[in-house]
Each structure stands twice: as C-alpha cells, then as structure tokens.
Amino acid sequence: MKRIRAILEMQAFGVCTAIGERLGIATSKIRMWFIYISFLTFGSPIIIYMILAFTRNIKNYILAAKRNPLKNW
C-alpha cells in the first residue's frame, strides 16, 4: 500500500506532500483540508494547486540542469 501511495504522490506532483514536510503536518490532513476548501469555494484552490505544481516541477528541472555535468560541454 505504501508503494502505491508513493507512486501516486509522485505522479500527482507531490504538492501536498511538500507542504506537509515543510510545515511538519501530516499529508493526509493537508489533503483533507484541501478537499474541504475546494468544496466550499467551488474549486478555486485547484488553480492554486496547479500553480504550485507547475512551479515545483520547474524548480526540479532547473536543479537537474545545474547538476548535469554534460551540459557545460
């Protein structure tokens, strides 16, 4: 079950996981509140989630490019 969860978190950008690790809060609590807030505000947090996911992926690409020794050739 943990392996499946890890795969799903990596495929779903890992935004809630990153927030939970940074703030020291359980990821399941953050996901639960995200769902509640999405229902109460008619889905507007989904836009914020997508922006965070985009910036998180861009940051990973930038860091990977800096570590690539063949790029400087």
* Cα pseudo-dihedral 18, 43, 29, 56, rounded to 10: 0
Question: Which residue's structure tokens are 């999405």?
Answer: 38
Q: Which two tokens stand for residue 48?
A: 């914020």
pTM of the model: 0.52
User: How many residues in total does the chain contain?
Assistant: 73
Query: Which element (helix H / strand E) includes 2?
Result: helix 2-11
Q: Tell me: the pLDDT tens digits for 15-52? A: 877 888 888 988 888 888 888 888 888 877 878 878 88
Domain locations in the chain as residue ranges: 2-72
Mean pLDDT of 63-69: 67
Question: Which residue's structure tokens are 């860091």?
Answer: 63
